[in-house]
Amino acid sequence: FTSSQAVPYNLNLPTDILDMETDQLDDYMAAGCGDSNVYIYRLDQSQDSNKLQHMATLKGHTAPIIAVRWLSLKHGRVLVSADSNGQIFMHREQQQAFVKLSSIDLHQNITDMAVTDSTLVVSTLESIQFFNISQLQLNLKDCQVVDIKLAISICACEFKQKLQVLVGTFDCKVLLLQDRQIQNLKFVKQFQKPVRSVQLQQDLMSEQLMCCILADNLVIGRLEGQQIAIQKEYEVDRGVKSRFNVTGRVVGVVNEDGITKLVDV
């Protein structure tokens, strides 16, 4: 990425951001940090301003935050956060404050997390786990486990009435899991480096699945069966950490020096 492509938000952001995500309207940004806190900001994207307004700090986690995910706005503004020790919290905005709805503790090291309207998907190095969250509650008893090893990045979406989960692994593979069934696991692509981040979303114009993958480079393309039709590829320097998120054409990049940039590709 070149500096001319980056739009920096430099309003006293934490220096240890491990994950970030904007909501569906690009109004709010959540940043999960190494100090075990989640910071929520409102984005001002007017033509004459590039500011972040701090809205809330969510405390209670006991380890670095490795994933923050917004649910769709049909639930109101709801945020799910996970830390590396296995704690998962769900908060909802109520009267301009964020109130905790529920929590669970997996007692396992979580590597990533994904959400759809009704499903929470959690990856560890030993398995991928599915939870029903249609009622905005987390329950350890309501868990389905699929035996997929070495998953370090995941993304999920509903596509043609099926749950699709894109999986990036430590041993440099991209896999596609459909309908939570191990027999529906497909190999998609081999890279040379661990797949640090994957993103999967439906293109409403073409009714196809689009994907972004961060491994050797940042790859943006279209998922066609078990193949990726690459549309764009960007060289990414070593400073980019393990997560980016896509909202439309915007990719958020977290750098090792703590500088956060929202990059329009």
Q: What is the CATH number of the domain that holds 247?
A: 2.130.10.10
**Which amino acid, residue 179?**
D
Judged against a pLDDT cut of 90, whether residue 192 lies above it is answered with: yes
pLDDT at 246: 52
CB 37 within 8 A of CB 58: yes
Structure confidence by residue, pLDDT tens digits, 18-38: 888 888 777 888 999 999 999
pLDDT at 52: 77
Q: How many domains does the chain have?
A: 1
Query: What is the phi-psi region of residue 110: left when phi exceeds 0, alpha when psi lies from -120 to 50, beta otherwise?
Result: beta
Q: Which DSSP helix (H) or strand (E) runs through 132?
A: strand 128-132
- What does the DSSP 8-state code read for residue 125? S
**Which amino acid, residue 25?**
L
pTM of the predicted protein model: 0.86
More confident residue, 219 or 177: 177
In whole angstroms, give the CA distance from residue 23 to residue 40: 11
**Domain range holding 114?**
3-264
Apex 32 CA angle, 27 and 35, nearest 5: 140
Compute φ and ψ for 185, nearest 5 degrees: -85, 125
* 121 band by pLDDT with thresholds 50, 70 and 90: very high
Compute φ and ψ for 168, nearest 5 degrees: -110, 135
Least confident of 47-56, 132-141, 145-154, 186-195: 47-56
- What does the DSSP 8-state code read for residue 76? B
Question: pLDDT exceeding 70 applies to what percent of the chain?
Answer: 82
* 63 band by pLDDT with thresholds 50, 70 and 90: very high
CB 55 within 8 A of CB 28: yes
* 255 band by pLDDT with thresholds 50, 70 and 90: low
